[in-house]
């Protein structure tokens, strides 16, 4: 096995639970070394179960997976040495300080003495918690807890990092800070990152490639741009300066694409027939008809459009539906 192999592979990975539906239903994955892979899906889609299997915390019911070149079933200890993980709940002890957590985690990884002290200080600095290092966790904000969680996952210099919904519940500032750190880990340290998220923006901004999971199946996979280009073209939205001209504006826009809804009542919108449509042509056509426009915008397709195309549902709210079904099955 190549010791520098930081990839993740899974073939036909399945996980059944006794009283619930099949959580993961035969997924195939390939995540290359140094890649940030975004695993996007609603609550209950199977994201965390997949992470638990890949991190050796949960044995698969069927299928195979290797992480860092090691089999997750037969070579669990080697997998655990190669990976770091920040799981869905920032599992921290409210009565310990940040520094105490890092020292505890380092000791569990066999790092002791000065090296432990040095590594703890280095990681606290890296995640911006040096000043709060000796405060108890119960006084930390959600963002601070998540940053400490990330630092704990990095204590033993892992080659592969699993982050299970690392920014759920965080404000945009904390979220952005975490994205920067994760991006830096992949770019500068060559760490492979497997990131689960239910935030479209997170997958879009951070991931090199995205896998969309729904009801235990991967329904789409590719770079964010590829996925979006596959399912939809850009949408142009125009707001006439005078409401009386709304019909005329619609008539002009319809020459470039098909009408679409979901925008404001004063707006007219069309989905362009092709992504290479020239916005200048639209402006010229409106101008030729002497139509005045107070606002003209182009909306790029989103990963939600991809999710909608593949599953028939929007990502937002899909998790509630999945949760309800799971609860009903459990009852």
Partner 1 sequence: MQIAALQAATLGRRAVVRTARQPANVVFPLIFPMLLFAVNSGGLKAETRLPGFPTDSFVAFAIAVPFIQGALLATVNANVEFARDIQTGFLNRLALTPVRGIVLLLGQLGGLLTIALVQAVFYLAVGLAFGVHLETGVGGAVLLLVLEAVIALAFASFGCWAALRTGSTEAVQGLFPVFFVFLFLSSMNIPRNLIEADWFRWVATINPVSYLIEAVRALVIYDWHWEPILLGFAVGIGMSLIGFALATHALIQRMARS
**Residue with token string 């090691």:** 70
Quote the least distance from Cβ 108 to partner 1, whole Å.
4
- Residue 61 DSSP code: S
Angle, alpha carbons 174-179-183 (nearest 5°): 150
Pick between residue 74 and residue 314 the one whose CB is nearest to partner 1.
74
> What is the Cα–Cα distance from 314 to 299, expressed in whole angstroms?
17
Judge residue 262's burial from the number of C-beta atoms within 10 Å of its C-beta, 0-12 exposed, 13-18 middle, 19 or more buried. exposed
Q: Which parts of this chain interact with partner 1 (CB under 8 A)? A: 55-59, 72-74, 76-77, 79-81, 83, 85, 87-89, 91-93, 95-96, 100, 103-105, 107-110, 112, 136, 152, 156
Least distance from partner 1 to the Cβ atom of residue 165, Å:
12
Confirm if 107 and 116 have CB atoms less than 8 A apart. Answer: yes
DSSP conformation letters of 75-121: -HHHHHHHEEEE-SS----TTSBHHHHHHHHHHHTT--HHHHHHHHH
Other beta carbons less than 10 A from residue 175's beta carbon: 20
How near is the Cβ of 259 to partner 1 at its closest, in Å?
Answer: 49
Closer CB to partner 1, residue 86 or residue 185? 86
Cα–Cα nearest to 22, from 63, 55, 56, 54: 63
Q: Is 157 exposed, middle or buried (0-12, 13-18, 19+ CB in 10 A)?
A: exposed
Query: How far apart are CB 261 and partner 1 at their closest, in Å?
Result: 43
What's the closest the beta carbon of residue 235 comes to partner 1, in angstroms?
Answer: 42
Q: Which is nearer to partner 1, 104 or 296 (CB)?
A: 104
The residue (of 151 and 306) whose beta carbon lies closer to partner 1 is 151
| Residue 104 or 231 having the CB closest to partner 1 | 104
**Hey, what are 204's tokens?**
């879009």
Least distance in Å: CB of 66 to partner 1? 12
Report CA-CA distances (Å) from 305 to 107, 148, 301.
Answer: 46, 34, 6
Residue 57 per-residue DSSP state: S
Question: What does R_g of the chain's alpha carbons equal in angstroms?
Answer: 24
| Measured distance CA(292)–CA(246) in Å, rounded | 10
Nearer to partner 1, 137 or 207 (CB): 137
| Smallest distance, partner 1 to C-beta of residue 210, A | 25
Q: Which is nearer to partner 1, 76 or 222 (CB)?
A: 76
Smallest distance, partner 1 to C-beta of residue 54, A: 11
Closer Cβ to partner 1, 74 or 125, answer by number: 74
- Return all residues near 223 (Cβ < 8 A) that are at least 6 apart: 208, 209, 210
């Amino acid at each position: 096995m190549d010791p520098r192999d930081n990839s993740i592979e899974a073939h036909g990975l399945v996980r059944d639970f006794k009283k619930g539906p099949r959580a993961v239903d035969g997924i195939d994955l390939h995540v290359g070394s140094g890649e940030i892979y975004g695993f996007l899906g609603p609550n209950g889609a199977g994201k965390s179960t997949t992470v638990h299997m890949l991190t050796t915390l949960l044995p698969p019911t069927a299928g195979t997976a290797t992480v860092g070149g090691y089999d997750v079933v037969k070579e669990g200890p080697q997998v655990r040495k190669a990976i770091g993980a920040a799981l869905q709940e920032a599992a921290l002890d409210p009565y310990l300080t940040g520094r105490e957590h890092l020292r505890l985690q380092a000791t569990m990884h066999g790092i002791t003495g000065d090296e432990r002290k040095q590594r703890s200080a280095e990681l606290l600095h890296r995640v911006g918690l040096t000043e709060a290092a000796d405060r108890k966790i119960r006084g930390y904000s959600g963002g601070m807890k998540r940053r400490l969680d990330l630092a704990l996952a990095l204590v033993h210099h892992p080659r592969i990092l699993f982050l299970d919904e690392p920014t759920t519940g965080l404000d945009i500032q904390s979220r952005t800070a975490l994205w920067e750190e994760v991006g830096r880990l992949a770019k500068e340290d060559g760490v492979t990152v497997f990131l689960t998220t239910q935030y479209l923006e997170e997958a879009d901004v951070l991931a090199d490639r995205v896998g969309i999971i729904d009801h235990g199946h991967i329904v789409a996979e590719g770079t964010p741009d590829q996925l979006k280009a596959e399912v939809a073209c850009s949408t142009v939205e125009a707001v006439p300066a005078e409401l009386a001209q709304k019909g005329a504006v619609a008539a002009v826009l319809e020459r470039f694409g098909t009408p679409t809804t979901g925008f404001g009542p004063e707006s007219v919108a069309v989905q362009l027939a092709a992504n290479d449509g020239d916005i200048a042509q639209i402006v010229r056509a409106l101008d030729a008809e002497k139509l005045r426009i107070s606002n003209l915008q182009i909306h790029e397709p989103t990963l939600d459009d991809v999710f909608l195309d593949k599953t028939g549902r929007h990502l937002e709210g899909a998790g509630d539906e999945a949760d309800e079904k799971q609860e009903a099955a459990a009852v």
